[in-house]
Amino acid sequence: MTAIPGRFAAPQRLIHWVMALCILSMLFIGVGMVATVSSKYLTLVQIHKPLGIAILVLALIRLTLRLYYGAPALPADLPVPVKLAAKLSHYFFYALMIGMPLIGWAMLSAEAYPVVLFGRLHLPPMVSASPYLHTLLWRTHYCLAFAFFALILMHVAAALFHRLVRHDGVFEAMASDPARK
Amino acid sequence: MVETAKQSRPFAFRACTTIAVVVGMVALAFAYTAGWLSARRLTPEKLIAALQSESGPPLGHRRNHSKGICFTGILEANGRGTALSTASVFAPGVYPVVGRFNIGGTDPNQPDPLAQVRGFGIRITTPDGQEWRSAMIDAPVFAAPTAQAFYEFLTAARNNDPNALKKYSAVHPEILAFVSWVKNHLRTESWTEDRFNSLDSFIFIDATETKHAVRWSFVPETPPVTLTPSELAKREPNFLMEDIAARVAAHPQHWELMITVASPGDPTADPTKSWPEDRQTINVGTLTVQDVQQEADGPCRDINYDPVVLPSGITTSDDPIPAARSAAYAFSYDSRTSEASHYPRVTRAKQ
């Protein structure tokens, strides 16, 4: 068996999988809510806002963990362009995890819309009301959501490639309990 | 070496197939959720499109009730609403209001005498940052019980086949009350004489967590003066707009906010059904319209009068229409704000 390089620290692995679930749900909720006029619309919107803020908070915790623990090195035999792609994709992930909730929050502020989390818990407006800014933020939020989803698909494909084809331990570095003997 | 290559090639092929299947299924689920695989799903876009005339949507304007005028004023709550809801807007006090008088239809230049429906949007804010938005019309009931039915009604109404509407009303006889109101009610000479109704049901939650299904209306203080159809036809294309500006400039105008409480068994899920006349009705405050502004530069222009923006103490009910309106209004808002250049902000019209 190929040697398994280091693994991510336990808190990093936990937050990765929790956030994976949150973000995937978030993207499905987002794309679903803008495509329906049924009563589900309200439920989806009511989940979308607090879940977005939860992802923002988790992303900031995750960034701190990443800076504190670092990440295991990629396999030495991985081609340089692939290594570069892996590194870049992770910068994009952090940018999107932090950026998307902030853009969503700013977008609601720009349309003078109350940002309700639960009951009386509101977030203050991040920017002042502006239809121009709203359009810009709305389009950005919309396009980045698809980019985020595409990035996740690539990430899943790459993770499975490491697991099923390369057997180089990259998948196991983030897996909850690697099957090693 | 040769042997390993031979063994690993089919294995890698199988592994790659597995990867493609996993990724493909996630992508497919996403496409399904987005409605790309369900041509018949009623989306906000389709609902809005069904409202538009053949000349297309009014760029830069609301996608329905496109002609309107802004107002500012106050709601003076008398405190009686606190028996029904903990919403801070019912505590005795004076709360700022930004609203909009409008007429139904998608043409921002539609002559006022041709309006089938008149409407009224309102946003009330309280010092704790809570907001209550509502968009009401002067009809006593709504046209359709669900978004799907409303869509079918709009589609039938646009159909060149004269039997399309008959077919619709055979399946949906509830439309007749609305249609007969549109055809037969006498129009008043002013928005200040119109009563505006929520039509949809909402839930008020009181301090003991008890829920009350309610509807509300803004009832004008000014007694109605109705116009015969021939008198109405002679009015100027902007008679409502000019009237409201003149009346408010002369005196503040008032409406009472009346809350009607459902009795058990009343049809809360169906806005085409009115409730019996004898239901408990509580006057919770007075709206005073103090100033009127042209919409192009007015404070209501960039407000989405989304009926699900509710303060804590008010929630939606089993009525399915507010969700559909919220989704459609969001689509309308996103569209019109991106077309703001088609609706210049500088108005020449000065009162």
Question: B17 — contact with chain A (CB < 8 Å)?
Answer: no
Give Cβ neighbours of residue B214 (< 8 Å, ≥ 6 apart): B84, B201, B202, B203, B204, B259, B260, B261, B262
Residue of B nearest to A155 (CA): B23
B351 found inside a domain:
no
Which chain A positions have a beta carbon within 8 Å of B26's beta carbon? 153, 156
| Cα separation, B19 vs A161, whole angstroms | 7
| Cβ distance of A37 and B328 shorter than 8 Å | yes
Query: Do residue B71 and residue B218 come from a single domain?
Result: yes
For chain B, what is the domain count?
2
Q: Which domain holds residue B4?
A: 1-39
Tell me, yes or no, whether B142 lies in a domain: yes
**Same-domain status, B28 and B52:** no
Structure tokens at A104: 């969503």
Closest C-alpha to B64, from B137, B6, B11: B137
- 3-state percent helix, strand, coil for chain B, nearest multiple of 5: 35, 25, 40
Instruction: Tell me the C-alpha distance between B259 and B141, whole Å.
Output: 16
Tell me: do B241 and B259 sit in the same domain: yes
Q: Do B312 and A120 touch (CB under 8 A)?
A: yes
Task: For residues B255 and B287, state if they share a domain.
Answer: yes
| Mutate: best of A25, A26, A34, A37, partner B, most B CBs <10 A | A37
Residues B23 and B122 in one domain: no
Which of B302, B325, B339 to mutate to probe the A interface, most A CBs <10 Å? B302
* pLDDT by 10s per residue, chain B, length 351: 444 444 456 678 899 999 999 999 999 999 999 999 999 999 999 999 999 988 889 999 999 999 999 999 999 999 999 999 999 999 999 999 999 999 999 999 999 999 999 999 999 999 999 999 999 999 999 999 999 999 999 999 988 898 999 999 999 999 999 999 999 999 999 999 999 999 999 999 999 999 999 999 999 999 999 999 999 999 999 999 999 999 999 999 999 999 999 999 999 999 999 999 999 999 999 999 999 999 999 999 999 999 999 999 999 999 999 999 999 999 999 999 999 999 999 755 444
Average pLDDT of A79-107?
Answer: 97
Which of A100, A177, A169 shows the shortest CA–CA distance to A137?
Answer: A100
ipTM: 0.93
Q: What is the pLDDT of residue B12?
A: 86
Do residue B113 and residue B189 come from a single domain?
yes
Joined tokens for residue A68: 């504190």
Q: What's the rounded Cα separation, in Å, for the pair A173 and A159?
A: 10
A41 to chain B: which residues are within 8 Å by CB? 323-324, 326-327
pLDDT at A26: 98
Do residues B29 and B142 share a domain?
no
Question: Does A117 reach chain B within 8 Å, measured CB to CB?
Answer: no
CATH number of the structural domain A10-166: 1.20.950.20
B 174-203 residues with CB below 8 A of A? none
> Which chain B residues in 111-130 lie under 8 Å from chain A, judged by CB atoms?
128-130
Give the 3-state secondary structure of residue B123: strand
**B27 with B75, same domain?**
no
Residue B307 lies in a domain: yes
> B18–A160: do the CB atoms touch at under 8 Å?
yes
Task: Verify that B238 and B299 share a domain, yes or no.
Answer: yes
The DSSP call for residue B81 is: G
How high is the pLDDT of residue B2?
Answer: 41
pLDDT tens by residue, A1-57: 343 458 999 999 999 999 999 999 999 999 999 999 999 999 999 999 999 999 999
Cβ pair B30, A150 in contact under 8 A: no
